[in-house]
Amino acid sequence: MSSTVSNRAIRLIIIGDEILSGRRQDKHFGKLVELLAQRGLHLSGADIVSDDQAAIVRVLERTLGDGDIVFSCGGIGATPDDRTRQAAAQALGVKLVLHPQAAQLITERTAEMAERSQGNADMSAPENQQRLQMGMFPEGCDIVPNPYNKIPGFYVRDHTFMPGFPVMAWPMMEWTLDNRYRDLHHRRAWAEHSFLAFKLPESRITPALETLETRWPGIKAFSLPSVGDGRHPHIELGVKGEPAAAAQALAFLRDAVQQAGGRLTPPD
């Protein structure tokens, strides 16, 4: 999906074998949806990718080619299973270089830790040289500040790369939305409405959903069947899009349910 000035596609990439194996549950999807909604934006899609560098490269080549706004969480550390920095450089066709601002922030963080008797401040020490690897970013990128521990993420071509830890990633998401994409906030009016329909097979209301999208171009209809509590199966029906048109489409859909023999309240 190509981006335009007025309607940028926003995507999330979640990176980590631990998510795919179920050892950890993703928390970024819901949080990003929440942060976007607060700013009048919405998520267009998401990918969950393993730590395999080739797999990450394939996803990034696609999103870089689409021109999407992308938030990527995970894999930017300096252990062997962290391959996101390397994959980003490969997808961009550039080298990894030590970002001077990142190096300074890592040095400051190391000194702070040394003051608390957690390691030493000598940046020539092997463990500190390893820490500096976290500042090796694709050539030409900018840093993303990390208020939790100063170790930054990086930003390049509308792609924001953050750690997998929510306590770090979520403030970085907010900073990016409010500093890099403020001009997109609340640019497009958007509404979403839904209601429950009872005693109605989905097949009977489908023609009305198709008619709705034809009559109100730009409005998307959705249908989510549920068995409910077992006694009252139902369908959640709804619309989303420009507020005035969405309100009209919602009224149409409510009428269509009743005309098709459905109910808007649970049967007794």
Residue 203, number of CB atoms within 10 A of its CB:
7
Domain ranges of the chain: 10-184, 191-259
Q: Which residue has the tokens 């998520």?
A: 43
How confident is the model at residue 177, as a pLDDT?
Answer: 98
Phi and psi torsions of 245, nearest 5°: -65, -35
How confident is the model at residue 77, as a pLDDT?
Answer: 93
* CB distance 109 to 72 below 8 Å: no
How confident is the model at residue 193, as a pLDDT?
Answer: 95
User: What is the distance between the alpha carbons of residues 226 and 64, in angstroms, rounded to a whole number?
Assistant: 38
Could you give the 3-state DSSP secondary structure of residue 118?
coil
DSSP 182: G
* CB distance 133 to 78 below 8 Å: yes
How confident is the model at residue 4, as a pLDDT?
Answer: 37
Tokens linked to 156: 């390049």
- 191-259 belongs to which CATH class? alpha beta
CA distance readout (Å), 116 to 86, 103, 146, 226, 246: 32, 20, 20, 55, 57
* CB distance 161 to 85 below 8 Å: yes
Q: Which CATH number fits domain 10-184: 3.40.980.10, 3.30.420.40, 3.50.50.100, 3.90.226.10?
A: 3.40.980.10
How confident is the model at residue 227, as a pLDDT?
Answer: 85
The rounded average pLDDT for each run of 10 residues, N- to C-terminus, in the chain (268 residues) is 55 96 95 96 95 97 94 95 97 97 96 90 92 96 96 98 97 98 90 94 96 96 88 93 95 97 90
Residues 6+ away with beta carbon under 8 Å from 83? 51, 52, 53, 56, 75
Rg, the chain, Cα only: 23
CA distance readout (Å), 262 to 77, 200, 213, 229, 268: 54, 5, 20, 18, 14
How confident is the model at residue 7, as a pLDDT?
Answer: 61
Is 191-259 in the same CATH topology as 10-184? no
User: pTM value?
Assistant: 0.85
How confident is the model at residue 9, as a pLDDT?
Answer: 93
